[in-house]
Structure 1
Amino acid sequence: MSFSPAFRERLQRLQRNHLLIALVLAGLLIIWLASGDFLRAKDEPPEEQPTPEEAEAFRVETSVLQAEPHSPVQVVQGELLPMREVEILSQINAHLTGRVVDWGDVVAEDEILFRLDPETRAAELARAEAALALSRAELEGGEVLYRKKLLSETEFLRLKSAAASAYAERQLSAQQLRYAEIKAPFDGVVDRLPVEEGDYVQVGDALATLVDIAVLRLIAYVPQQQVYALRPGLSVEATLLDGSTLPGTLTFVASRAESSTRSFRIEAQLDNPERRRIAGSSATLSVRLSDQKAHRLSPALLSLGEDGQLGVKSIDAERKVTFLPVEILSFDPEGVWVGGLPEEVEIITLGAGFVTAGDPVNPVKTEQR
């Protein structure tokens, strides 16, 4: 198709105008963008460029922890024992003529448990009392003569010695007769009874075992790292196998660790007013320690220092790694409570395994996980 020269000239002029308009719009766009960067540069400082040391530092994530009030509870396993337990033995050789108690009986202090045949002991006591009366009469007469110098000093001393021996014989005979009646040394329960009426018992033979379970002792052992916070007088609670509890008080903390286990023996006293038969069983002892400021964190953040001390890795003011030893106070479902840290501390929560104390790091603060 052919166009007239006038039409072709008009078309070329129009194309030139479109190109010119496009060039003008592109120029305006460039000017607008440049002006925006210029204005932003006026309002905002330039981005800080990392130093060469920071560029080479390992990147870690950190979290700032604040100390919180904490009432720690130390938990150990222990064994329940009677407060008192004694094996009652025969003090004389004799026939058992009366067994007043039976297995499991609750007895009071000074209550008669057994009667042994006194045999000739009553007669021996009467003879000893007569001999003592004679010796004392002879001594009184000898003292009168000695003052009048009608009796030698040696003879007077012999009379005094005879009176003293007669008194000792009388006391021994009376004691042997008292041994024929065996009484309870304290309030308790008859736990074992290996003899029957008619048995012949000798000195040292066991007659019964008496236990006091109105109050119980709980014996446990704590690791050497956890003994520092313990002291007599702290409140405790023992949880039994059936889930019930008994309140009590910590009464003893050993001053020396067991050589084989490096653990310290502790004892607690627990009230057992119902006289529940639980002596000899195991129980969980919870010791409530004094209130203190502590930090709660995930156990995964704990690590060992070069000397084997448990601790956490933190960041100092120079953005270098420091190792801070800690003491474990207690555990709960949300983490572990530790002591020994500053009131506010920035600890490494991610990447701690790749850095050591003294290493420069590039910390990025995050919320505690």
Structure 2
Amino acid sequence: MKEIKNVLIVTREYQCSQTPKIGGTGVFYKNLCSELIKKGISVHVFLVSKFAFEIEEEGVKIHSVKDIFKANPILELVRSFTGKVKALEQFHFKTYLFEKKIISDKINTWIRKNNLHFDIAETHDFDGMALSIPKEIPYVIRCHGSWSVLEKYFGYKKVHKGRIFCEKEAFKISKNIITISRYNEQINKSLFAIKDPELIYNGIDEKFYRPFENRKIIPKSIFYLGNVSFEKGAETVIHAFIQLKKDYPEASLHFIGNPNHYPTYITETIPDPETRNAIYFYGNKSGKEIVKLINQAETVCFPSKGENFSLSLLEVMAMQKAVVCSAIDSFKEIIQEPVNGLIAKEGNFHEKLSLIFEDDDLRNRLSLNARQLIESKFGIDKMVDKTISYYQSIK
């Protein structure tokens, strides 16, 4: 096995001081890079984002270039126009391939200018970013959740055709693939005909996401962690809460994440002021703030209609909380009912939440077993060690 000394991450998302509002992929790569640095591996991040900047944080060197389409108004206009005309579809695809070539040229220039060398590169599956990685660098695609998957399996609308085209082209030429769950592996094999992927579950820092001693629980509180959206099941938990409120007047519902239009939705759809006033929106929060808030929860609900894999679920379980999840395959891969959590169908979330409210022994057992599962299977150290081992096996 070869030695891994220098790693390149090519991504559209990375959590740092210059990019505070990012998705789960950006948080993942921040955590992965931090752990690789701790193991003595040099890490550079080539980031395509809203802004151009160059910084070093926690030992990770980050070089960001501005989004190619946003930086080139004419190219952006051509992309937009050709994407609306069926007869120009092939030209539309070429604008996306041209974008990848520009990114590749920028990576090559940056490497030569700084006299860099990389043993391995990693990128995500969405947008087909693997097409931008210089051919001489061996690389890995990690399947966080492509636009193709979101469109076909999770009901996302108005996905740019050029993005899907590039994703398919990237998988055609890529041999080294990491999937993050068995469900994720199954759907990517079906969609892209990938062969021999390496299954490496995402991991979290169980020392950071931990239960507080002597924490004060808000009685009959339901928390929701993630983007507040239809796809993530916001309306499902709201309707369940309306039913619960009839039996538990002290119940409250707490949303952590971008609220989108849901404060207005609450006002327009819930006539009872007591129910409306028991729903709280905290907005996006830092990791430390999330830990503090979730520690106050009696239960946490994950009603998502589709997930590749949920880091948020692992984080909450690490904080020793009883969870109620929707009956989707990726959740059922983690949750064993009634051992470490509960599984609810669309119409019976209020029933499962009631069980947790009513049965202290059940709630305590679910909570303790949730934490034990994270410690035994989903710690970040295990994920990073498996990742490095996979890097070493690639020629």
The answer to whether the superposition gives a TM-score over 0.5 is no
Scaled to the shorter chain, the TM-score interval is: under 0.3
TM-score relative to the length of structure 2: 0.15
Q: Larger % of helix: which?
A: 2
Larger Rg: 1
